[in-house]
Amino acid sequence: MNKKEHALEQFPRDIEALVAELGMPQFATKQILSWIYEKGVDNFDAMTNISKRHRDLLSERLFFRRSNKVIEKVASDKTRKLLFAWDDGTKTTETVMIPTEKRKTACVSSQVGCPVGCTFCASGLDGFDGNLDVGQIIEQVISLGASSITNVVFMGMGEPLANYNAVTRAIRILNAPWGCSIGARKITVSTVGLPSAIERLAAFDIPVTLALSLHAPNDELRKQLIPWAQFSPIEDILKACGKYFSATGREITLEYLLLSGVNDRITEAKELAELCHTLRCNVNLIRYNEVDSIEYKRPQSAQVRRFQETLQNAGVNVHIRASRGRDIDAACGQLRRRYQSNLCEDRLQ
């Protein structure tokens, strides 16, 4: 008996082969893909222009969902944050939909937990529990309403480039006209900085936006914030980013999380400006969202503006990212951590 496969991992050639094997008409491939991505159905019974016999045969070979939505929160600014439990329910990840007037952005996870262990982030506090498969990544976007999603950012839980094969295959589905039809420029991969993987991504045929989670302008401070920084000096990472720009023509986004009294001083701003002059880039300043049990604090608005002005005066293209979802466990991994803690408490009672 054939093992069921995830419908959201199938490419047209895979559906075509299955359609032929099941004795279905060739045009059924287009029908199936349309039902999945344009209409967003999550079961074969909804595919009313396909015969009941063929729908039953398809359901024996493919499935649509591995997740169970255990929590959904909607912030006052309409940001939606979902917590999915996968398979047996012991593994959970977060997905966020961030709406603005002009776009709806899906922020997706690529791993369960995170192996990087950034000292300011809740995602890695409970360790790393594996990679997400292609279907699990696409499932997050579908669950947010794929037909209305305009942008996708791999900025959820996990290090995307440490799950390179699944992430790039998911990008193909997100970008494909038969899939989610999201333009390459509207797909962003955020990485802590893995030089060899960045160079590999530079050769990938879909030129997505690359965002580097820098968060410090020198190696000494960066190692304190990001344990993986010990493996890759900033100089090596920026060289790899330079190769990415040369290969794709896409300007690099440097993400810089501002932590009060840690990396938000004028000294760090001037150091960061010097780094920016070595690379075609823009800077996204992010105000820290506090996490329970982590001591870092959110900087004052005046300090954030001073940091921005120092960069601007040095000729750097810099923006302050709007904080979204502050009233619904905004920090990455915080909702998951709260849920996991409650589960543990329930088991002990």
Distance CA 143, CA 67 (A): 10
CA-based Rg of the chain, rounded to a whole angstrom?
21
* Residue 34, burial from CB neighbour count under 10 angstroms (0-12, 13-18, 19+): middle
Cα–Cα separations (whole angstroms), residue 89 to 7, 68, 70, 271, 343: 20, 8, 9, 45, 11
Beta-carbon contacts of 202 under 8 Å, excluding residues fewer than 6 positions away, are: 240, 243, 244, 246, 247, 248
> Of 5, 38, 94, 295, which is the active-site residue?
94
Which one of the listed residues 114, 276, 332, 345 is annotated catalytic? 332
Is 94 noted as a catalytic residue in this protein? yes
List Cβ neighbours of 33 (8 Å cut-off, separation of 6 or more): 12, 15, 178, 179
CA dist list (Å): 164 to 92, 110, 183: 20, 9, 19
Is-catalytic flag, 332?
yes
Specify the DSSP element, H or E, that contains 275: helix 266-276
Dihedral sign of CA atoms 124, 125, 130, 136 in order:
negative
What φ, ψ does residue 229 adopt, rounded to 5°?
-65, -20
State whether residue 51 is helix, strand or coil. Answer: coil
Query: Residues near 276 by Cβ (< 8 Å), separated by ≥ 6?
Result: 254, 283, 311, 314, 316
What phi and psi, each to the nearest 5 degrees, are found at residue 318? Answer: -135, 140
Residue 242 and residue 281 in contact, taking contact as beta carbons nearer than 8 Å: no
Bridge partners (DSSP) of residue 257 are 286
Between 301-313 and 266-276, two packed helices, what is the crossing angle to 10 degrees?
A: 40
Catalytic residues: 94, 332
